[in-house]
Amino acid sequence: MFAFCEDPSALEGARWFACYLTNGVHFKFYQSFLVVLLLLAVTAPTALAFGFAAASATRSRIPPVRWFGNIYTAMVRGIPDIAFFLFFVIVLDQGIEYLRHNIVCPDWTDPIRQGANFIVCPAARTPQSSSPQFVHEAYNFALAVFTYAIVFGAFCANVLIGAMRAVPRAQMETAEAYGMTRRQAFWRILVPQMWVYALPGLSNVWMILIKATPLLFLLGIEDIVYWARELGGSRTSQYAYPHPDWRLWYFLGLLVFYLAFTRVSEIVLARLTRRLSHGQATAAGEQARRAA
């Protein structure tokens, strides 16, 4: 980046660190922070949508729909995250390739399962080996978003189910007595009020989601933990910037980043809770009324 970085072996002190921290590999490390933030920005609303759909399904009068909502929330919450990530991503990836295999290679006669190997025709590979690198990265990122949304959608569903039950039943009965249908009462009475009760639980889910982002490396994504481990490891003289084992300092930097990010999240969520609780018959609303 700097003109004096042409010969790293001749650098010392601050100049050495200036060149070391601005080389190409470190820029990938800095970009990985944006990948984590983008994952959170996309996964959070997606997981909330999955959770809302599952919570609504548990209230359905159609038994199969209600069973599906209950099974989804119970099953996903009962499986460890790391086991689900390792299993679900493989199943999803092979499922996509299997469907494409049946579409683009109908004349294929060899078995797909050959011992421990999963072999499809070359045209069904997703993505293709000849595809640009950004296609592979986008595909892995999409798998990560979907997997995270499935896992944390179940936790959101459990929170929303409790929030829906916390809304007084008398309000729903009053709405129906005034001529509203069950659907109208759900969207106009229940949904607007449940967020006040759901926000504390959803705040916890958000914090857990932040702490789960280091699992990205399991999904083939070079995240901040991956680069901290790679860059912090000892480097001998065969590298341009040799140094001893600095993983302690890199992971200390990640610790500061996560603590700062969670602290900012706590402040934003606390303000949002106070805003939504204003005028509500809840503990937070009563506290706000007394403070006023």
Task: Say what the pLDDT of residue 132 is.
Answer: 86
Distance CA 256, CA 233 (A): 19
Instruction: Provide the residue type at 204 as one letter.
Output: N
pLDDT single digits (tens) 72-92: 988 888 888 788 888 888 888
Q: Extract long-range pairs of 270-275: CB within 8 Å, 24+ residues apart.
A: 272/199, 273/199, 273/200, 273/203
Of 148, 160, 131, 195, nearest in space to 51 by CA:
160
pLDDT single digits (tens) 203-248: 999 999 998 888 887 777 888 988 998 888 888 877 788 888 999 9
Q: Are 81 and 139 in contact (CB under 8 A)?
A: no
Instruction: Provide the residue type at 87 as one letter.
Output: F
Picking from 58-67, 101-110, 251-260, 278-287, which range would have the lowest pLDDT averaged per residue? 278-287
Task: Say what the pLDDT of residue 284 is.
Answer: 47
pLDDT single digits (tens) 246-270: 999 999 999 999 999 999 999 999 8
CATH class of the domain defined by 3-291: mainly alpha
pLDDT single digits (tens) 142-152: 888 998 999 99
Would you call 206 exposed, middle or buried from its count of C-beta atoms within 10 A (0-12, 13-18, 19+)? Answer: buried
